[in-house]
Amino acid sequence: MNEHNRQHGFTTVEVLVGVVIGLLVCLTALSTFTFMETQKRSTMGRNGALSNGGMALFQIENEAKHAGLGLMTTSAFVCSTANLGYKTSVLLNNSPLYPVLITNGGTGSDSIRFAYLNSLSGATTIKIAKDMDSASGTIYTNVDPNTSSGNLLLLRESGSPCTFRQVSSVAASGSGYAITHTSGDYNYGMLAFTKQVKYVNGDYVAFTSGLTWVKYDISNGTLRETDNITGTTRTIADNVVGMKAYYGVADTNTSSAKSIASWQSPSTFTVSDTNLLKVRAIRVGVALRSPERDNSCPGTSSTLTLWDSGPTIDISGVTDWKCYKFQTYSMIIPLFNVTSGIR
């Protein structure tokens, strides 16, 4: 047989070597893919927590910067207490309405309330020119109120609760203007308030496009914003497992006291007009859980500190807490409208 016509194949050893090399390449590729996928999921988890933390604090910061707008006078709150009705409910009945109010959550999360008028026009006031004939009677002014049907008005006199009402109509009346407030969502409750006020000549009325009064709290791992007026709730951020807030308090409530003398927990801070007028800022911290589970479950500590020497959050109640990574974020937020009102 001609030597050149012989066909050569792979020997068994060569085939086995090739198979082994192929397996090693596959295993290496699989290991690399698994590692890269794990890294990607871990990075995405951290980025998700970072995004949630930023969203949570940004929303709270925005509300805090508005807090107190239209609710401040020189060295005081416009209203120590207020009457507020909405549709068929009395929401405030000679009760305080503070720009910022932190509610102590004990071993759980705190909640924070913010209140402010929605337009700068609410920071200016007009004198009432004639006694009201009843608590729900027509309001007379000598100055054009520059308002329209649907806007809110805030009635106030020294020593009495403020009252929120809704403008029904504005009409020229003699040399002034007559403002009625008989229909509208905010005109409920005048006869249901414990202290009904019939405002008189020399008292004040302010006008605004609306009132914002909201609460931020944590429920089932979700940061929520609740409108205290309408009762509607919306989700701000997921995987938020805890929130704490402190008051930044000056030594006095005078305009010269601009700096923060101490940070006080809502568990020890006494809520009053005098003390809240000392508050220059709030400090808010949130704890967030990564959305990605780490199946090695390496967690060792169930306590998170929100800021240096600050409050802690117990995460032991979070399902499988050892199998998730957690991050904390905190921010100091000045209360511009409260500080500028104390001048």
Please write the tens of the pLDDT for every residue from 314-339. 999 999 999 999 999 999 999 988 87
Sheet of 100-103: strand order equals 100-103, 111-117, 211-219, 222-227, 233-238
Does the structure show a pLDDT above 60 at 39?
no
Which one is predicted more confidently, 260 or 24? 260
Q: Which of 15-29, 37-51, 169-183 has the lowest mean pLDDT?
A: 37-51
The reported pLDDT for the residue numbered 185 is 94
Percentage of the chain lying above the pLDDT 90 cut? 61
The reported pLDDT for the residue numbered 45 is 46
Predicted confidence (pLDDT) per residue in 157-207, tens digit: 888 899 999 999 999 998 899 999 988 999 987 778 999 899 999 999 999
Does the structure show a pLDDT above 70 at 69?
yes
- Domains of the chain are 47-77+215-341 (no CATH), 120-208 (2.40.30)
